[in-house]
Amino acid sequence: MPKPAFLLDMDGVLYRGDHAIPEARTFLRAIADFSYLLITNNSSTTPEALASKLVRLGFPEIDPTRILTSAIATAAFLQAEKPGFSYFSVGGSGLHNALRRYGTDDADEPDYVIVGEGEGLTYESLTLGINRLIYGKAKLIGTNPDPALDGTRNGQAIVLPGGGALIAPFAAATGLEPLFIGKPERWLFIEALHRLNRSANEAIMVGDRPDTDIKGAAQLGIVTVLVRTGRFPPDMPYPDGLPKPDFDVNSLNELNLDQALQTVRERSRS
């Protein structure tokens, strides 16, 4: 089998807000000889901006192609579903830039109404979107179902509305169920594995949230590592009804990397 590859969530694994998690720097050096992708549900910003943030926080320079956002996964999914698709989008620059690569911005007759994090939700954009969904041919797509995400403003930690919160008015007004691309749905993981040229049983997912990172990866058979440096602290009981991670550590320096790699090898043989 090929060498195992790594999928790493970003906020809560590599950094918290504008502060690096020191153990993450060491971990990235430890896996430097392995294929890996940094994946995030946040669709509001671009891989280039995220790569610059990592350098600013003291991480080694990372090629933006090693960063996969839910916006990029959404664009790739829609291109596979309907090549040359048209769209009306509500969200930040990361979403608009990703969609522009494959599709055509068409507020009059879109194939899809796509909603993600970031500025853009106004009474006007909501009205336009729901009418394209009700009276047009458009389907409702969400970059991710997160109700909220962590952010910073003037150096202070704040909570921002996530993709799930921002798409909710469109769903409520139309009665439509959105198709979500980001974690815990499979599509972001599938796009990541495709880019790494690995099957699910040849990868390790490192994340800080049981309800998105661990749940989504476990459903595909990916070896999972829960690191309790983000929203899920060491003293919090594991939620009932969610798949347990293969490894549950308080920080990345507690992870036995050799054991994790051996778990992937054993799973790939079964």
Tell me the domain boundaries of the chain: 5-41+183-269, 82-180
Q: Tell me whether domains 5-41+183-269 and 82-180 share a fold.
A: yes
**Nearest C-alpha neighbor of 205 from the set 194, 193, 41:** 193
| Other C-beta atoms lying within 10 Å of the C-beta of residue 178 | 21
Residue 237 three-state SS: coil
Give the integer Cα–Cα distance in Å for 117 and 107. Answer: 19
- pTM for the whole structure: 0.95
Element (H, E) at 94: helix 93-102
Under DSSP, is residue 126 helix (H, G, I), strand (E, B) or coil? Answer: helix
Tokens of 80: 């596979």
Residues β-bridged to residue 150: 159
For residue 140, the cross-strand partners are 113
Amino acid, single-letter form, for residue 144:
N
Q: 211 an active-site residue?
A: no
Q: Can you tell me whether residue 166 is helix, strand or coil?
A: helix
Mapping DSSP to helix (H, G, I), strand (E, B) and coil, where does residue 253 land?
A: helix
CA atoms of 23 and 138, how far apart (whole Å)? 45
Give the end-to-end CA distance of the chain in Å, rounded to a whole number.
Answer: 12
Sequence length of the chain is 270
CATH classification (class only), 5-41+183-269: alpha beta
- The verdict on whether 11 is a catalytic residue reads yes
Fold (CATH) for 82-180: Rossmann fold (3.40.50)
CA–CA gap between residue 51 and residue 57 (Å, rounded): 10
Q: Which of 9, 111, 146, 248 is catalytic?
A: 9
Strands 112-115 and 19-20: unpaired
Task: Retrieve residue 14's tokens.
Answer: 């590599």
Asked if residues 11 and 230 have their Cβ atoms less than 8 Å apart, the reply is yes
Tokens 């459903």 sit on residue: 219
Per run of 10 residues, the mean pLDDT along the chain (length 270 residues) is 93 92 95 96 96 95 96 98 98 97 97 96 98 97 93 80 97 98 98 97 97 98 97 93 97 96 89
Which pLDDT does position 45 carry in this prediction? 94
The pLDDT value given to residue 31: 96
> Rounded distance, CA 46 to CA 235, Å?
34
Residues 6+ apart with CB under 8 A from 150: 11, 12, 16, 17, 157, 158, 159, 160, 231
Token pair listed for 97 = 């830039």
pLDDT, residue 153, reads: 80
